[in-house]
Amino acid sequence: MTLKKENPDSEGAYHFDNFFNISDDFICIAGFDGYFKRINPAVSKLLGFTDEELYARPVISFVYEADRKNTMETREQIYNNKPLLNFENRYLTKSGEIVWLSWTSMPLDSEKLVYAIAK
């Protein structure tokens, strides 16, 4: 028995947008400029900020103060085209609560973007 792979452009193909929007995981695309470019609904839900607030501020501004230096150093590795696996840091919610996140991030140097998922 041979399994047939679907052409991603064919009708009935799985759509990334559906996965992106229904996932409870924190999924985002960030630019090398340090700002979110796209976020899924779980980001707003977890952090308590509106999408507009999340897009308006640098990503680092949401990171817990004590974790910023290490996060910025780690971000430099990503900018040097090195994937990031199981990096943990803390974010602050709008209400001031601390949330631990474990990240997997993949850079796409040609587009100056980072594709990331966190739990």
Angle at 27 between CA 21 and CA 29, to 5 degrees: 110
Question: What is the mean predicted confidence (pLDDT) over 84-92?
Answer: 97
Position 7 confidence tier, pLDDT thresholds 50, 70, 90: low
Does the CA dihedral 78-80-83-86 come out positive or negative? negative
| 33-68 confidence digits (pLDDT tens) | 999 999 999 999 999 999 999 999 999 999 999 999
Query: Considering the entire predicted model, what is its pTM?
Result: 0.85
How far is 59 from 91, CA to CA, in rounded Å? 10
What is the CATH architecture assignment of 24-118? 2-Layer Sandwich (3.30)
Helix, strand, coil percentages, rounded to 5, for the chain: 35, 30, 35
For residue 19, what pLDDT is reported?
85
For residue 31, what pLDDT is reported?
97
For residue 69, what pLDDT is reported?
98
Q: Indicate whether 74 pLDDT > 70.
A: yes
